[in-house]
Structure 1
Amino acid sequence: MRKTCFILVITVIFIMFSGCSNRVSNETTVSNETNESNETTVSNTSNETTASNETTGLSQDQEIIDTFNTLVNSKPVDLLKISDFLVNNIKKISAQNADLMLQGYEKIQMQSLPSYQDAFFDPSVQSTLLTYSIEELQQNQVKETDLQKLLTDAVAVGYKIEAIEGTVAPYVDYGYYAQFGALTTASTSAFYALMKVESDNPSQKDGGLLISWDEVLQRGINFEAFLKTYPESYYYERASMHFEAYQELALNGSINVPLFEYETNVMNDEAKTAYTFFVEKDMESEFAKLMKNYLTLLEKNNFIKTSEVESFIDLQK
């Protein structure tokens, strides 16, 4: 039953990812061409040519992108081979084509995630994994040779090991993408920097809030700034979903750490302090203005979630 739940979660995540990756960007052009063989290709954006390749009419960028596409569309997919090629060649191409390579890799990495998770979901494997702490697993401090390989293989292709709802499995590690920030365009670098924070320090897990209320507000500001700075980014819609999620957290809290106590509807004291400090800052931000108006309304209602407060929250959805 737990395996089924995890597969459902990953399916939903992939649908969100796929739905957002079709945005047209003025910075890069990605051709996610679906043909009869369902291949995914990355189109070279560079018009550069080199003297050594004049006879073939192909630039170094084009040769690298062509090889990358061949690897991505090989069956079965060898994610480790694709990752090794990316790591060794991304520095040789333009920033625009580096963007495209990362976009292509992230798509194939998401498609491959369920198969990597299946290996962890095997009952005998899962029971052994659960004898170790998450820190031991993340540092590969296990005795079993087969587990060492399982963990090593997952990390090598850009996954990280997490324990969610009592089950250990690999998930996308955005630190993998952030390491290439200096080789990509500004918007790609900025997006993956934001995602690395999410990956390293998730805001929620098992319905609980894992970060402070101050951090909830700051992350909302950070994603809003990205949206304002890069309105034509390939990652705009994904960043927008993260911003909306933080706005919802700021207005309501999480399931297990609500902004208002379930029995009394009184606002969380720590949140009250954090919000008061936050609105005192002089920030040119629509999110900051929203929170200032929200706090003014809460003060009027003695920091109790009244019908008036609920109406305000509903208007932001």
Structure 2
Amino acid sequence: MKRTIVFVIIILLLSTAFIGCQRKELTGDEKIIKEYALMVKDNVEPLELIKYVDKNISKVNEKNADRLIMGIEKAKEFHIGRYTSIVFDKERQKKLIALFPNKFEYNRIEEIQDEGLKEAVVEMYNGGYKLQNIEGAYYPALDYEYLKKYNKYLSGEINDYIEIMAKESGEQAIIEGHRAVDWDELESRTINAENYINKYPEAVRRPVIGEVLFHYLKVYLLDDGKVDLENNTIKTEVIKEYEKVIENHPNMVTTEILKEYVDIVKKNNYKVTKDVENYEKTFYVKGLMDINKKFDLD
């Protein structure tokens, strides 16, 4: 009987040791990701997440490194409303515009006299935001260039995503209704967005890039600068740019949409008729839905 009891005790001890070993195995990627997931769930400030990522990203595999970076993006999207409220105060906007009439310069931050505003701006920049001047007012925006410091740890899918988002966050394609980048840059951004959607059919961020693609196509179709106001026609040089895209990139959704538009414009002798306006309005209202359907992004 004693031998039986001793045997049972040994088995229990071995089982406990075995379970303990299993638990110790959680000290790698899984432990880091679980801790991080709780931080994201608790809406921890982006700066704190960044500190955690900086400490741990080299310890995890590529897939989990992707998760860490997407967690930073999620946190920045969650907290951006609070920073917008701080910055968009009327008096603070006046102070920012007075100091930085066109573009915010981080190296001049010490010139901000409002200590609360200065503190918030420093916190934003350290947390991966930047200030953008949009139509005469400053807004906080996600700084995707900031995330490029993690490139060597990330998959091609996430690096390509960051690159696409960094282009637009770095230089907006349309400002106050007018195209703000040259035609070659607009073509490159549009095609890169569509290529991403096709290249990564399982990518979590495909719907986001679908919205980016829609945004760039709106620049093509709805840019105020494409119309010659004197005779109310679509400028021939603009249509030539569209035709260049059509020729350079056959068999693409971008090409299909631009070709439909060019055909309607030519059919109406370049005049801004009801047919042309209706196509533009329909694309504005239904374009994103159509893109989502074409690429199965819903």
TM-score between both structures, scaled by the size of structure 2: 0.75
| Number of the residue aligned with 1:244 | 214
Shift of 1:94: 1.2
- Out of 131, 136, 142, the residue aligned to residue 98 of structure 2 is 131
Call closer, same or farther: CA 1:152–1:300 in 2, change over 3 Å.
same
Structure 1 residues 240-280: Cα deviation after superposition (integer angstroms, max 9, x where no partner): 11112222322232xxx253346743113542342243334
Instruction: State yes or no: 1:65 paired with 2:53.
Output: no
The answer to whether the 8 Å contact 2:173/2:219 transfers is no
Residue identity matched to 1:176: Y
Call closer, same or farther: CA 1:79–1:248 in 2, change over 3 Å.
closer
Q: Which has the larger radius of gyration?
A: 2
Larger helix percent: 2
Residue identity matched to 1:265: N
Shift of 1:222: 1.4
Instruction: State yes or no: 1:197 paired with 2:167.
Output: yes
**CA RMSD in angstroms, aligned pairs only:** 2.8
TM-score between both structures, scaled by the size of structure 1: 0.71
Call closer, same or farther: CA 1:304–1:181 in 2, change over 3 Å.
farther
Could you say what secondary structure the match of 1:179 adopts? helix
Structure 1 residues 187-236: Cα deviation after superposition (integer angstroms, max 9, x where no partner): 21111110000110111233333123443333221111111111221011
Call closer, same or farther: CA 1:136–1:100 in 2, change over 3 Å.
closer
Give the whole-Å Cα distance in 2 for the aligned partners of 1:247 and 1:190. Answer: 20
Residue identity matched to 1:139: N
Give the whole-Å Cα distance in 2 for the aligned partners of 1:260 and 1:126. Answer: 34
| Number of the residue aligned with 1:291 | 258
Call closer, same or farther: CA 1:164–1:282 in 2, change over 3 Å.
closer
| Number of the residue aligned with 2:88 | 121
| Matched residue count | 262
| Number of the residue aligned with 1:304 | 271
- Out of 62, 66, 82, the residue aligned to residue 95 of structure 1 is 62
Residue identity matched to 1:295: V
Give the whole-Å Cα distance in 1 for the aligned partners of 2:40 and 2:278. Answer: 49
Give the whole-Å Cα distance in 1 for the aligned partners of 2:78 and 2:56. Answer: 22
| Number of the residue aligned with 2:128 | 158
Give the whole-Å Cα distance in 2 for the aligned partners of 1:167 and 1:293. Answer: 37
The answer to whether the 8 Å contact 1:202/1:210 transfers is yes
Give the whole-Å Cα distance in 1 for the aligned partners of 2:203 and 2:79. Answer: 25
- Gaps spanning 5+ residues in structure 2: where? 1-20, 288-298
Call closer, same or farther: CA 1:266–1:138 in 2, change over 3 Å.
farther
Call closer, same or farther: CA 1:217–1:265 in 2, change over 3 Å.
farther
